[in-house]
Amino acid sequence: MSCPDATLVSSLVASQVPQIQEKINYYILVNSPFANVVNGDTFESNQGDDILNAVTNRTAPGHSLTRPAFIDRANACGLDPSTDEFGQTLFSATMQTLRGRGPDVCVKQAVSAVKNSYLSAQRSLQENVSNLVNVDIRAQIHDLSGVKFTAIAATQFESLISGGLNQVSVNYIGTLPDSAMSFAALELLSQYMTDTLKLKKFGSGATGHYRVITGTGQNQIFRNEAGVNTVLLGALQGSFGDGKEALWGYAWTDMTYRGLALGIDEEPLRFNCLDVSGNPIFIEPIVEVAGDRGKNGIVNPEWQTAKYEVGFIIAPNNFTRYVPAKYIGEGTFKFAPQMSGGALNWFYSVDCNNEYGDVGHHNYEIERAYSPQQPHAVIPFMYARVTANTGLTSASLYSNTDTCPV
């Protein structure tokens, strides 16, 4: 039996690109907490690189909102009405590009061998592109957010907040946190978002909630302090719509507890110091080390032992992630724009380094722009990491210095 022609196999692999794109977008959908909190839209390539978005702000009423002044109807003839005013804030965004490539895949051998290499490359692409989209959204909404909070003990709540309504790219207050984030402080932020910033919640009615994303340790602190119990079953029983979204989207830990849904950032933003503007200097979570072949990515020890961390409390309609229209599919094969992993192409060339054309790889390109809608609807909060309580207690009958007889 003759081996298949490498060019033919490469053509077959290239034909599978749309299926890989669909898998990557689905992987982002169910694994990325941040892709599930922003809006998505498309941007036509013939419109240039800049997007200008006008956001209408809250109306400035011409009447008192404490005691509106009514007069007797008989005296209303010829009375000029008061004028309600409203303004707009203009936000701009620019389309930007990131390019990368997947690992080399050998298509020289039989189809069964290609399948193993192909699936390995597919898994690598799913994880890498999904992670890139997730951390890019996180970085953008963090940097562009209009309100920021710092967890400092025994300090007035209002003095821990910087920024305000429709501000963009505000700095933190410029002081390092000295406390883990508490559920009580989280509830105060929730009240501030509702009462002062006039933000709506995800969902409606009893299941309406803001979304909170933190590292695993801080998530557990919230749950221990508040006595949080998983209420997804209750959400399914009480509201099919919210329950369906929870099952088909990212799995939030708790759906409706006190109007907050908790999610986990598996590699949260961590830091040890601030820059001259009072903002965190973030530590890369992964570093490269030499492997038996090539390089391996391992957890950065500095990131693992970092003193401080950043979490988020988020309301809807905060930012829109624009992608080129070509990225969302064709016909009935459509992807949500904020879930798009970008363009993906199979590439191989026959040259002096690849004489038989039997080695190729996937090139990927991510193009996106972020336009603020309500930049104050994302509040990053920085807090101190605390030593985990292991729950281990000493067994008095034994000693860890006991030795076996020689």
Domain contains 76:
no
Cross-strand partners of 367: 97
Cα 344 from Cα 364, distance rounded (Å): 5
Overall number of domains in the chain: 1
Taking 50 as the pLDDT cut, the residues of the chain under it are 1-6, 8-10, 12-21, 109-112, 229-249, 251, 254, 331-335, 337-341
Domain contains 69:
no
Per the rule left: phi > 0, alpha: psi between -120 and 50, beta: everything else, 180 is beta
Cα 34 from Cα 315, distance rounded (Å): 12
Identify the pLDDT of residue 234.
Answer: 41
Domain contains 59:
no
Give the domain extent around 321. Answer: 6-53+90-384
Domain contains 94:
yes
Identify the pLDDT of residue 311.
Answer: 97
- Helices assigned H by DSSP within 239-314: 240-248, 301-304
The pair of structure tokens assigned to 92 is 């701009």
Identify the pLDDT of residue 284.
Answer: 93
Cα 264 from Cα 34, distance rounded (Å): 10
Cα 153 from Cα 158, distance rounded (Å): 13
Whole-number Cα distances in Å, 296 to 60, 285, 286, 359:
57, 13, 10, 22
Domain contains 84:
no
Identify the pLDDT of residue 262.
Answer: 87
CB atoms within 10 A of CB 184: 10
Identify the pLDDT of residue 19.
Answer: 47
Q: What is the pLDDT of residues 189-216, one digit of tens each?
A: 999 999 999 999 998 887 889 999 999 9
Domain contains 227:
yes
Domain contains 13:
yes
Q: What is the pLDDT of residues 115-153, one digit of tens each?
A: 555 566 566 666 777 778 888 999 999 999 999 999 999
Identify the pLDDT of residue 72.
Answer: 79
Cα 376 from Cα 341, distance rounded (Å): 26
Is the full-model pTM beyond 0.75?
A: no
Domain contains 395:
no
Identify the pLDDT of residue 322.
Answer: 82
As to burial, measured by CB atoms within 10 angstroms (0-12 exposed, 13-18 middle, 19+ buried), residue 8 is: exposed
